[in-house]
Amino acid sequence: MSKTPKELFLSPLILFVSFLMGVILSISLGPLLPNNDVVRATFVPGVVSILPNTTQARFGLWTACAADFNEHVEACLDRHIAYNVQFSSGMDSSGVAIIERSYTRGLFVHVFVMLTSLCSSIFMFPFNPALLRCGFWLTCVNFLGAIAAFAIDLVLLARVGSQMKHLEGHTAFVHPSWGFWWSLAVFVFSFCAVGTSMGSDKILQIARASKVQTLDPSTRSRKKSFWLPKLKRDKPTLSDPFAVEESEKRISSNN
């Protein structure tokens, strides 16, 4: 009895791992993972007007937080799908850096990628060729969403880096944080899932067709009936006129 090809289980496994990474990314800057931000900016103390001891500004999916010297989160904005952050360089109001909502609203795409990863992993289990075909298209949608999410992270990184240059008299080092690398990993896993899921329905159909041929007794009988006439031709029977004539001659010679 033939088994389901092991290659068909690789794609749902990759998608499920991508879903777990999406879950970790979706709780960005939460109580459990305060360091799971997408972009981080490190300042000279006192650069941010919100708190005097702020040395870091962390930008996550739902909010932005300020951290102190010991990298402990001091305060965060209210959690929203889109948030707005404004920095000022101390008493000089001319040095202002603003991160608008238009740059943080698109971070919600990460949740869409997480949900499509879960749905794709469920549909990609080798139960039915039609479900596998639907799972493949969901995997393609998941890959496109991962591309969009990672592109939004890059845009946010570039925006924060350009705005921090407006803070006169202070230096700010802008760099990707843990959430950025989680997003990159989801993008890579989504790409691998598309490659492993291509042709999965055809593989399943071939496997089931070979299984039916080995188990169907009618195929065996057809194969036997195809070879049996060749064996019968080697041995003459009474229905053959030459064989009947030879047998009569033998009988007459014996008499």
The total of other beta-carbon atoms located within 10 Å of residue 102's CB is 11
Beta bridge partners of 43: 172
Task: Say if residue 50's pLDDT is above 70.
Answer: no
pTM for the model stands at: 0.71
The CA-based angle 37-158-185, given to 5 degrees, is: 50
| Total number of residues shown for the chain | 255
Residue 189 has pLDDT above 90, yes or no: yes
Q: pLDDT, tens digit, for every residue of 114-148?
A: 999 999 888 887 667 777 788 888 999 999 999 99
More confident residue, 189 or 220: 189
Mean pLDDT across the chain, nearest whole number? 75
Q: How far apart are CA 150 and CA 158, in angstroms?
A: 13
Q: What confidence tier does 69 reach under pLDDT thresholds 50, 70, 90?
A: low
- Coil, helix or strand at residue 88: strand
Among 72-76, 89-93, 205-209, name the most confident range. 72-76
pLDDT digits (tens, 9 = 90+) for 199-209: 665 665 555 55
Residues 29, 109: Cα–Cα separation, whole Å:
17
What are the Cα distances from residue 18, in Å, to 28, 104, 119, 189?
16, 22, 12, 6
DSSP 78: P
